Amino acid sequence: MSGRGRRRGFGYVRKLPSGRWQASFVGPDLARHSAPHTFETKGDAEGWLGRRQADVVAGEWRPPVPAVRVAPLTFDAYSAQWLRERDLKPRTREGYEHLMRSYLSPVLGHLVIDTISPSVVRTWWSQLPADKPTVRARSYALLKAVMNTAVADEVIDSNPCRIRGAANTPRAREIRPASIEELAVIVEAIPSRHRALVLLCAWCALRSGEVLELRRRDVDIEAGTVRVVRAVSWVGGQAIVGTPKSAAGTRVVSIPPHVLPAIAHHLETMTVTSPDALLFPGRDGVSHLQPSTLHRNWRMAREAAGRPDLRVHDLRHTGATMAARAGATLAELQQRLGHSSVSAALRYQHAAQGRDKEIAAALSAMAARESH
């Protein structure tokens, strides 16, 4: 008869309505312990009890360890782990954390990661602000990167991010480089302590973060070069010094000869003699120049030149454009600018090191021609 337990010398067996057999016994701990599964025949159930009885008699039986319930893995938990394990530059990490906090977690964070389907992703993506195309693209690209890792970790079977083109950032605004005449006006209009900064950003095509971390020891007036090995970025109002933006960003750039006197004058009159002294420090002469101070002075100078659209970073674009006009090849431009990509890396192999000085000299010749 099913449902009634049958007592044996040790333990109980019971036939279930399904026809299968269940086995249990009271252990030395006086607690009842059931087999972890049912059995097809009564003999199989009794055999399991016999083995347990032998363990008890031999003193080898131990109560089973309770199974530990593992909480379902949410997207928030996995993405936090993903960020912790990434070797990211401070500004990049800050950007990712902002996207997670503002655009991914509010909708996806509480979901168990393996329940995020393509339809869930499409709904989330459709709700991102339509007036922020760059945010939409970067948020989607970040989600796709996290999910790619989840696939590799075998947390999910496949990546649910399948919206074609969703990670493509919109075309950047058209940058109109400054003319040589406009640069001259800007250099005259900006405070004297920042003139060399503008010249290095424009004529050497340096990033502002690279220029603001330059030390006296990085400039060799005799050789006519500036060495770029560090950069400063601002995270949460704090200056963070690290390596340049990419591996190719570590480089030595030739300074155009017509700019050298202004750089030398800056070193002589506005930089302390210590090799570690910042070329462009803040008001205290020691800490980094605050971006807000630079941009306040920059805005006044660009207005004087009639270029309210020109950003500090556009000086780098201006420098690249002028170097190209001076005859630099694509490989030489990438080397001078410190750009890093697979195709650029291949071209670097063919870029002649000595050509950078020729490019710098050609820039000076071009400046002389166009200033008359």
- Residue positions annotated with a catalytic role: 207, 313, 316, 339, 348
**Whole-angstrom Cα distance, residue 338 to residue 205?**
9
Q: Are 177 and 314 in contact (CB under 8 A)?
A: yes
* Single-letter residue type at 169: T
